[in-house]
Structure 1
Amino acid sequence: MAPLETYAITLPVRDYTPRHFLLEVDGKTATITLNRPDRKNPLTFQSYAELRDLFRALQFDTEVKTIVITGAGGNFCSGGDVFEIIEPLLSRDMPGLLQFTTMTGELVKAMRACPQPIVAAIDGICVGAGAIIAMASDLRVGTTGAKVAFLFNRVGLAGCDMGACAILPRIIGQGRASELLYTGRVMSGEEAERWGFFNRLADAGSVLSEARKLADSLSAGPTFANAMTKRMLHMEWDMSVDQAIEAEAMAQAVCMKTEDYTRAFNAFAAKQKPVFEGN
């Protein structure tokens, strides 16, 4: 079945040519572009699987330090393709449906597990699974013209798709997440920024460059420590405050043994700006 497709992605990722989207590695930043602009960049069984496998591979890529994900043609992503995903699912049995829903969830798991911070550059339509990909990113740069919607209940499904009920409330709060997931309504770009879903707004013509600028600034930082921050942000969802404090004590002690920590002290002592190398 299509959802069981896998893609052999060898390292370094910069040498991989995807079949179902675009990938560019510039310096330490990888940019993934969903590239079906004539349809507002919908996902297919194959693009879901290839994205999942790419993010899994990125866990082990030592060259890429940050990731940008965006869409071509002025839109981010219109969700699952109506005729290539939605319609075929109508004829699947329960095991086949569970294969699909498990695979889509694995994409979010892979995004959260890869150590590199992910910056989403969002313009235009960002709905359904597209909104989930934006949500699963670490940071989001949007435009006033962006339209974000978790549409699942509008097609007769629960709003709890691909981790939405766990992740979205942690970004914008329980009440606001409940409203979006129960109603499936569109959240405007200004509202998304005001509610904290977008970290910042940019003009449509510069949203990708602003996202890359943010990603590059993270790539120039202490990338081992950034990866540790991402891991702790994810792990501490399931911890008590006391457990989180203990886990952070261990994480910080590990970071204190990095060369970047020593570089930071030496630069401070010399009244210079530290140049981090990620080790």
Structure 2
Amino acid sequence: MDQHLITGNRQSLADYRPQHFLWEQRGAVGLITLNRPERKNPLTFESYAELRDLFRTLSYVDEVRAIVLQGAGGNFCSGGDVHEIIGPLTKMSMPDLLAFTRMTGDLVKAMRACPQPIIAALDGVCAGAGAIMAMASDLRVGTARSKTAFLFTRVGLAGCDMGACAILPRIVGQGRASDLLYSGRSLGGEEGYQWGFLNRLLEPELLLENALSWAGEIASGPSFGHAMTKRMLHQEWAMGVDEAIESEAQAQAICMMTQDFHRAYHAFVAKQRPEFQGD
């Protein structure tokens, strides 16, 4: 990028220290750890906002090319904290309630808009907003003991929370999504793998290692091309086939202008493996 355009368009997370979760950068892979294991890693008003802001910032970070999202202590996330979120919500006015639900939705928007593919590593409890974050990720690895529950109806709410009615059917199908969103029941790891909600089913001790390894493989690929794939996967939900084909033609033509495309060609000619740099 031209030096004149860097200001405001490129940021670094080298000194980033979040207050409400853990962040670690391992090469080109960013690792987010929800870190309240004594409560199965629930979210608070503050952690919702901080996660939203991090995923928004990642749109301007070149050095991170893939993300792994996990929970500490053998569980992913138990959803919104009953005492720190659910209790206060029962006392809020409608404008404040709407501000909250829009903020939670903005977390999903930020996850879908950030160019880095996100891998969620699911173990143990994955409920409520935790299930939504898993759903909003691009890929999911889990264990047989993982239990994913969109349990909003079990607390007297609708299943249509944070984009669930739009995104979940595209992962598991309309009928299966309806089952989960009406019942609020737990989707076990083996069933989740059979349904395609989980991309991989692993032993708990291999979960993080596998997720990081997979993220590393993605990060070593053409990051500009991966970001374009993620954008097209998201945007084409609302397109007809003809519109999608035209959009992909334009997207691919843009990718053909990158140096990574040229690197791949020259590496092929030289019978070498290309080393992508994301430009």
Aligned to 2:4: none
Contact persistence 1:152–1:158 (CA under 8 A): yes
**Partner SS for 1:206:** helix
**2:102 equivalent to 1:96:** no
* Distance (Å, rounded) in 2 between the aligned partners of 1:34 and 1:267: 40
* Distance (Å, rounded) in 1 between the aligned partners of 2:209 and 2:215: 10
**Partner SS for 2:32:** strand
**2:201 equivalent to 1:201:** yes
- Post-superposition Cα deviations, 1:62-95, rounded to whole Å, max 9, x if no partner, equal 1111111000000000000000000000000100
Contact persistence 1:105–1:163 (CA under 8 A): yes
**2:151 equivalent to 1:151:** yes
**Partner SS for 1:119:** strand
* Distance (Å, rounded) in 2 between the aligned partners of 1:61 and 1:221: 16
* Distance (Å, rounded) in 1 between the aligned partners of 2:85 and 2:107: 16
* Distance (Å, rounded) in 2 between the aligned partners of 1:266 and 1:101: 50
* Distance (Å, rounded) in 2 between the aligned partners of 1:23 and 1:129: 19
* Distance (Å, rounded) in 2 between the aligned partners of 1:135 and 1:91: 29
Aligned pair count? 270
* Distance (Å, rounded) in 2 between the aligned partners of 1:87 and 1:11: 37
- Post-superposition Cα deviations, 1:143-167, rounded to whole Å, max 9, x if no partner, equal 1110000000001100000000000
* Distance (Å, rounded) in 2 between the aligned partners of 1:199 and 1:275: 26
Aligned to 1:178: 178
* Distance (Å, rounded) in 1 between the aligned partners of 2:278 and 2:126: 33
**Partner SS for 1:23:** strand
Q: Report deviation, 1:14.
A: 2.7
For structure 1, which segment, 26-35 or 269-278, has the greater mean C-alpha deviation from structure 2 after superposition?
Answer: 269-278
- Post-superposition Cα deviations, 1:212-249, rounded to whole Å, max 9, x if no partner, equal 10100000001100000000000101111000000000
Aligned to 1:257: 257
Aligned to 2:14: 14
Contact persistence 1:14–1:24 (CA under 8 A): no
Q: Report deviation, 1:270.
A: 1.5
Aligned to 1:26: 26
- Post-superposition Cα deviations, 1:84-118, rounded to whole Å, max 9, x if no partner, equal 00000000010010010000000000000000000
- Post-superposition Cα deviations, 1:1-52, rounded to whole Å, max 9, x if no partner, equal xxxxxxxxx9312311000000001110100000000000000000000000
Aligned to 2:241: 241
- Letter of the aligned partner of 1:112 in structure 2? R
Aligned to 2:231: 231
Q: Report deviation, 1:200.
A: 0.4
**Partner SS for 2:30:** strand
Aligned to 1:5: none
Aligned to 1:51: 51
Q: Report deviation, 1:168.
A: 0.3
- Post-superposition Cα deviations, 1:154-188, rounded to whole Å, max 9, x if no partner, equal 01100000000000000010010000000001100
For structure 1, which segment, 30-39 or 264-273, has the greater mean C-alpha deviation from structure 2 after superposition?
Answer: 264-273
Q: Report deviation, 1:134.
A: 0.3
**Partner SS for 2:242:** helix
User: What TM-score comes out, normalization by structure 2 length?
Assistant: 0.96
* Distance (Å, rounded) in 1 between the aligned partners of 2:273 and 2:96: 55
Runs of 4+ in 1 over 2 A off after TM superposition: none
Unaligned regions of 5+ residues in structure 1, if any?
1-9
Aligned to 1:126: 126
User: What TM-score comes out, normalization by structure 1 length?
Assistant: 0.96
**Partner SS for 1:102:** helix
* Distance (Å, rounded) in 1 between the aligned partners of 2:225 and 2:212: 20
Aligned to 2:76: 76
**Partner SS for 1:24:** strand
CA RMSD of aligned residues (A): 0.8
**Partner SS for 1:13:** coil
Identity value in percent? 66
